[in-house]
Amino acid sequence: MTDILRPSRRQLIAGSAAALLVPTFARAQAPAAPGSAVIDVNRARTEPIPIAIPALTGEGDAAQLGQNIAGVITNDLGRCGLFRPIDPAAFINAGATGEVPNFQNWKVIGAQALVTGRVESQGGQQVRVEFRLWDVLPGTQIQGTAYTTTLTNWRRIGHIISDVIYERLLGESGYFDTRIVYIAGSGPRSRRVKRLAIMDQDGENNRFLTDGSFLALTPRFHPTRDEIAFMSYLNNKPRVYLFNLGNGQQRLLGNFDGITLSPRFAPDGNSVIMAQTNASGGSAIMTVGLNGGGSRRLTDGSAIDVSPCYSPDGTQITFNSDRGGDQQLYVMTADGGNVRRISFGQGRYATPVWSPRGDLIAYTRFGGDTFSIGVMRPDGSGERILSESYYCEGPTFAPNGRVIMFWRETRARDARGDGFSARLYSIDITGFNERAVTTPTDASDPAWSPLGA
């Protein structure tokens, strides 16, 4: 189990980045302020930005590392759908040394942006990775940064560079230096093994966190700590647990009668909001303090109220309830007041999640033979279906609110369950660029980590 433990991951690289000066012989230009997009994101949606990402240069082993890091960046930017990495076969004299590129060589192959960099061993396990982002047409440096870290962090360096490129060119923060916690499924459906698992957002560095001896469901990331809230059937008692990614320990959250389920952390990380079943057949929304705070019930539990999720500012809660007869989406204030229904389309609605931007709620909608993933504004207006299939469920937002991940199941074709599968997918909130996320086993219940977690 020790392999899975990565203490203080959030601090491994932060603080070791240094700004690189624009080379003196390059035309000096003040870097664009963060948020002022060099390239408009709306244009990029229909016309991805052509970007050249040659291998970062280096001597000996560092050369291979430079190629690998460029590969991570290429994969990140290509998969997000807003960039078009140019095939390296088209590059002209890409390995030329010197700090300032020959922009003409990149202009003629249609590159709008160019990434260059260099990897140097610092002795032992330490490496220094330097990268520069160039605006090819005017021939100016947009960004220059150097990172010092241990060798084993090379993938993270690639993701961090991808996030810098994304932010500088699109004017909004990225989501590449993130992880996905999810449920890995295996075995026959009637005795399904479901394990807590975690991986980088691109599917790499997959690790199983629980051994499959009990069902694990619905994991969610803590906003600032390396901690996961999830539902566990440990000892045949289905309850919400907290899993510490630092030491691999899990602990029961509170001591409640009935089942506790559908946990999510409050935006400030000081409490968990979840549901608790009761003897009358309903379930109530409640909050539980994490720092010695008590619990507080927010709904009366006369209906099934589940799947609560806070707005990013913590003032409101969206949740799922059958109080009106069948499953619909509701919004209420953080103290449980002013409950109002927001879903009025055809079918039933479930699993509402609030975008980190605050502007949208994503959900599962279903009826008959079709399940859908959709988004609507928090007042219920502007409903848009992003993806439909035989079965899909459980949207989770990337930390920038731009991409949603969910899972899809295929229909069993026989009584043995052959043909059944469960897989993760991601899709842009505009409904384009749907992509499968590769996992070593069946996968469900994805939850996106905060940026840099």
Which range binds another protein by CB under 8 A, 79-87, 99-107, 173-181, 212-220? 212-220
Which range binds another protein by CB under 8 A, 17-25, 26-34, 163-171, 211-219? 211-219
- Contact present, 170 and 37 (Cβ < 8 Å): yes
Q: In the structure encoding, which two tokens stand for residue 248, read together?
A: 């691999």
Residues 250-269 interacting with another protein (rule: CB under 8 A): 258-259, 261-262
Task: Please give the Cα distance from 166 to 173 (Å, whole number).
Answer: 7
Number of residues lying near another protein (CB under 8 A): 49
The binder of another protein chosen from 109, 217, 234, 385 (CB under 8 A): 217
Residues 361-420 interacting with another protein (rule: CB under 8 A): 364, 366, 391, 393-394, 409, 411-417, 420
Residues 137-156 interacting with another protein (rule: CB under 8 A): none
Q: Does 230 bind another protein (CB under 8 A)?
A: no
Nearer Cβ to another protein (27/189): 189
Q: Which residues contact 377 (CB under 8 A, 6 or more apart)?
A: 359, 360, 361
Q: Does 34 bind another protein (CB under 8 A)?
A: no
Residues 76-95 interacting with another protein (rule: CB under 8 A): none
Task: Please give the Cα distance from 159 to 156 (Å, whole number).
Answer: 5
Nearer Cβ to another protein (130/409): 409
Residues 316-345 interacting with another protein (rule: CB under 8 A): 320, 322, 326-327
Q: Does 192 bind another protein (CB under 8 A)?
A: yes
Nearer Cβ to another protein (49/216): 216
Q: Does 297 bind another protein (CB under 8 A)?
A: no
Instruction: Please give the C-alpha separations between residue 208 and each of 3, 183, 184, 212, 220, in angstroms, as whole numbers.
Output: 10, 9, 8, 9, 15
Q: In the structure encoding, which two tokens stand for residue 422, read together?
A: 């469960």
Provide the minimum distance between the beta carbon of 357 and another protein in the complex, in angstroms, as a whole number: 24
Nearer Cβ to another protein (91/233): 233
Residue type, 445: D
Q: Residue-wise over 424-443: b if at least 16 C-beta within 10 A, else e?
A: bbbbbbeeeebeebebebbb
The dihedral sign for the CA sequence 371, 372, 378, 380: negative
Q: Does 41 bind another protein (CB under 8 A)?
A: no
Q: What's the DSSP call for residue 315? A: S
The binder of another protein chosen from 445, 446, 447, 453 (CB under 8 A): 445
Q: Does 307 bind another protein (CB under 8 A)?
A: yes
DSSP-assigned beta bridge partners for residue 393: 407
Q: Which residues contact 6 (CB under 8 A, 6 or more apart)?
A: 12, 226, 245, 246
Which range binds another protein by CB under 8 A, 70-78, 136-144, 222-230, 272-280? 272-280
Q: Does 299 bind another protein (CB under 8 A)?
A: no
Q: Does 442 bind another protein (CB under 8 A)?
A: no
Closest by alpha carbon to 22, among 105, 135, 162?
135
- Supply φ then ψ for residue 23, to 5 degrees: -55, 140
Provide the minimum distance between the beta carbon of 88 and another protein in the complex, in angstroms, as a whole number: 43
Q: Does 210 bind another protein (CB under 8 A)?
A: no
Cβ burial of 347 (10 Å; 0-12, 13-18, 19+) is middle
Which range binds another protein by CB under 8 A, 48-56, 127-135, 229-237, 291-299? 229-237
Strand order in the sheet with 442-448: 207-208, 193-200, 179-186, 442-448
Q: Does 281 bind another protein (CB under 8 A)?
A: yes
Q: Does 188 bind another protein (CB under 8 A)?
A: yes
The binder of another protein chosen from 47, 110, 125, 189 (CB under 8 A): 189
Q: Does 436 bind another protein (CB under 8 A)?
A: no
Q: Cβ–Cβ contacts within 10 Å for residue 257, how many?
A: 9
Closest by alpha carbon to 116, among 174, 66, 48?
66
Please report the DSSP string for 198-248 in residue order.
EEETTS-S-EE-S-SSS-EEEEEE-SSSSEEEEEE-GGG--EEEEEETTT-
Interacting residue ranges for another protein, rule: CB under 8 A: 188-192, 194, 215, 217-218, 231, 233, 236, 238, 258-259, 261-262, 275, 277, 279-283, 304, 306-307, 320, 322, 326-327, 350-351, 364, 366, 391, 393-394, 409, 411-417, 420, 444-445
